[in-house]
Amino acid sequence: MTASVSGAADRASNTARRAARNDWITRIGRVGLVAYGVVNLLIAFLAIQVATGDSGEQANKNGALQEVAEKPFGPALLWIIAVALIGLAIWQFAEAIWGHSSAGKRRLKKRVISAGEGVLFAFLAFNAIKFAMGSGKTGSKTQSFTAKLLGEPFGQVLVGIVGVAIIVGAAFVIWHGFKKKFREDLDLTHADAKARTAAERFGQVGYMGIGAAYAVVGALVVAAAVSYDPDKASGLDGAMKTIASQPFGSVLLWLVALGFVCYGVYCFFDARYRKS
């Protein structure tokens, strides 16, 4: 009886694994990576607007979605982006549960990263749906979250921990790019030399660029904790504007925008060569 139940459970698990990692989900997930690349290119465009003093939408993911929503056929395009991102999220959740079997000692780390990416893409898909339905907002969630957390017991300490965690995460992203660790997720065996070089260069600069931008976000959250002032905390858009206000800020912001451009282009290579 026990063996029968165990066998049924294994068959159900194998069926779920095949369903979550089938060709259609993988294909939709690759389209999702292209969509994510487009979102990052739009963030770069909005960052350039901040650098030139022509800031309209917020220079973050929600601002990018808002930019799409305001275009002709924007809501329809957002629905396509949302479906593709949902497929990408399912693909990454499947990798978190069943994937990376050949990663050896790094399997747990890889699965945790896949799970984190799944959450990120699912959240972005949810926001895309909200903007497609006309109910999306571009306000700073980081600032409101910080304000609420500061009002809690030991809130100042908790906000400081969150800020440090963001900085540590950003440092990991920078290191990931500098060491070209992203190559472990790509299958470049069938790519020509130019494609391999381009994927590595765009990935390296892209990861380091977005890591630097989010490090500023973390620094602003820490500053809010130290000063007990939630107004000092802000998301990516606030980080962009903080960079712009510094000496040579426009130049620095153009470099950040370049990082998002490179990461956006890298997403296209990721869509083509991501291991499945």
User: Taking phi first (over 0 means left), then psi (-120 to 50 degrees means alpha), and beta for anything else, what does residue 248 get?
Assistant: left
Check residue 3 and give its pLDDT.
Answer: 47
pLDDT score of 16 more than 70: no
Check residue 26 and give its pLDDT.
Answer: 81
166 exposed, middle or buried (CB, 10 Å; 0-12, 13-18, 19+)?
buried
Question: For residue range 164-206, what is the model confidence (pLDDT) as tens digits?
Answer: 999 999 999 999 999 999 998 899 888 899 999 999 999 999 9
Check residue 22 and give its pLDDT.
Answer: 60
* AA letter at 56: G
Question: For residue range 24-79, what is the model confidence (pLDDT) as tens digits?
Answer: 778 888 888 999 998 889 888 888 887 777 655 566 677 778 778 888 888 888 89
Where do the structural domains in the chain lie, given as residue ranges? 22-273
pLDDT band at 102 (very low <50, low <70, confident <90, very high): low
Q: How far apart are the first and last CA of the chain?
A: 36
Specify the pTM.
0.79
Residue 80 and residue 132: Cα distance in Å, rounded? 10
> Is the separation of the CB atoms in 211 and 235 below 8 Å?
no
Written as six digits, the tokens of 241 are: 């504007």
